[in-house]
């Protein structure tokens, strides 16, 4: 069975009956404390993830019957039938006048559990997120491919949401997002925004991209580039004069190029390099670090690669390993190395140096920069 046959919004008749669903008080609690996820499991108290920490709700453990009823009332008869046959189901639910939640109801150890992700309407701006000002300039591009990379839970979706919201506020255009799941809800401002969720609005990324040209987009978000078909389609959309945003799992700008090429068979990689050299506009690679400042829980350390003639040449000539050095020599033009970003966070007293050492590509270089000694004169560059 394909995803769009079971990953459906909660039955409208059930949800609109006027009777509050048993899970709704927990949804409100997640929103109240600014949480991102709700976990409900038979035999234990509900838990809410706030930042990086999962916290227990102060109440008695939920018995199996209560969790089962909570799950049952959220599903239509057809959805209950699917759940009984498959042991899990995806649902979507929007609290009236509040946030939307993406849920997965599943069996574990013979009991029922519920995991819900809050999809917030509040989109922070560049300053609130402590993102480099150059990201606003990147958001002002009108054509090409912009990739945001990093490990899981590094804030990639939030950074892209910030850039899309900037476009939404400043440009009359049509933005189409293709996501799995939808992370943020947008309200039309100067732009009109169409959000398509895989499994609910459309079956697959490939299907969504197939029909994308007929939707007259100016700006496109492809939530995650997981395979060569999706990335190939993204390049084609960028080539035809659109601005395309996408996310990919990689630890640095150079690694991002390698990760893309790994999606393709060897015989196609030279072609993909040429297409990248022409269409790639920027790579933003970030990591979220715990903050020691009272105003922030976490702050991003960001590496930024902006495409210029030298970058295009390096990509086409397979000199990816030289990109970090190229970034360092072009920092005055808006590029930013991870070392520079970490140094600024330390100087602002946003992070503990020990946190920076854990992610620094060259700890010796960072330590010497902290002492005011330029690594350019030490011979340690690239060690």
**Prediction pTM value:** 0.81
Of 3.30.930.10, 3.30.479.30, 3.40.50.300, 1.10.150.120, which CATH number belongs to 134-377? 3.40.50.300
135 HSE (CA, 13 A, CB side)? 28
Q: Where, residue-wise, is CATH 3.30.450.90 in the chain?
A: 3-119
265: confidence class by pLDDT, cuts 50, 70, 90: very high
Evaluate if residue 109 carries a pLDDT over 60.
yes
Specify the pLDDT at position 1. 33
- Nearest residue to 126 (alpha-carbon basis) of 140, 114, 147, 106: 140
* Beta bridge partner(s), residue 360: none
Which pLDDT does position 198 carry in this prediction?
85
* Domain span(s) for CATH 3.40.50.300 in the chain: 134-377
Reduce the DSSP state of residue 352 to 3 states and report it.
coil
- What's the topology of domain 3-119? Beta-Lactamase (3.30.450)
Q: What angle do CA 119, 287, 133 make, to 5 degrees?
A: 85
Contact between 383 and 362 under an 8 Å Cβ cutoff? The reply is yes
Report phi then psi at 120, rounded to 5.
Answer: -85, 155
Of the candidate ranges 4-8, 121-125, 297-301, 350-354, the one whose mean pLDDT is the lowest: 4-8
Give the C-alpha separation, 188 to 192, whole Å.
Answer: 5
* Res 97 pLDDT > 80: no
CA–CA–CA angle 282, 251, 287 (5° rounding): 85
């Amino acid at each position: 069975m394909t995803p769009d046959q079971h990953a459906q919004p909660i039955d409208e008749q059930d949800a609109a009956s006027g009777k509050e669903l048993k899970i709704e008080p927990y949804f409100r609690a997640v929103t109240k404390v600014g949480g991102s996820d709700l976990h409900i499991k038979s035999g234990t108290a509900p838990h809410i993830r706030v930042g990086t920490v999962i916290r227990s709700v102060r109440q008695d453990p939920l018995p199996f019957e209560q969790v089962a009823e909570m799950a049952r009332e959220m599903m239509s008869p057809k959805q209950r039938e699917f759940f009984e046959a498959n042991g899990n189901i995806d649902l979507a639910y929007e609290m009236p006048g509040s946030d939307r939640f993406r849920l997965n109801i599943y069996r574990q150890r013979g009991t029922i559990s519920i995991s819900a992700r809050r999809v917030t309407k509040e989109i922070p701006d560049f300053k609130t997120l402590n993102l480099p000002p150059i990201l606003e300039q990147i958001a002002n591009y009108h054509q090409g491919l912009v990739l945001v990379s990093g490990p899981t839970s590094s804030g990639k979706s939030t950074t892209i949401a910030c850039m899309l919201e900037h476009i939404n506020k400043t440009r009359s255009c049509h933005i189409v997002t293709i996501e799995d799941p939808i992370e943020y809800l947008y309200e039309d401002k100067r732009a009109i925004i169409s959000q398509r969720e895989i499994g609910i609005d459309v079956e697959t990324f490939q299907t969504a991209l197939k029909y994308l040209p007929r939707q007259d987009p100016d700006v496109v978000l492809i939530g995650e580039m997981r395979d060569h078909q999706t990335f190939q389609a993204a390049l084609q959309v960028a080539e035809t004069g659109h601005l395309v945003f996408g996310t990919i799992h990689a630890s640095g700008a150079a690694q991002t190029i390698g990760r893309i090429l790994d999606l393709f068979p060897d015989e196609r990689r030279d072609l993909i390099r040429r297409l990248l050299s022409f269409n790639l506009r920027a790579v933003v690679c970030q990591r979220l670090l715990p903050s020691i400042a009272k105003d922030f829980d976490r702050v991003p350390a960001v590496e930024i690669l902006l495409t210029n003639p030298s970058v295009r040449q390096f990509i086409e000539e397979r000199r990816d390993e030289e990109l970090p050095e190229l970034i360092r020599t072009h920092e005055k033009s808006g590029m930013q190395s991870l070392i520079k970003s970490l140094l600024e966070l330390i100087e602002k007293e946003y992070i503990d140096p020990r946190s920076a050492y854990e992610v620094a590509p060259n700890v010796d270089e960072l330590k010497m920069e902290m002492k005011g000694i330029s690594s350019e004169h030490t011979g340690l560059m690239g060690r």
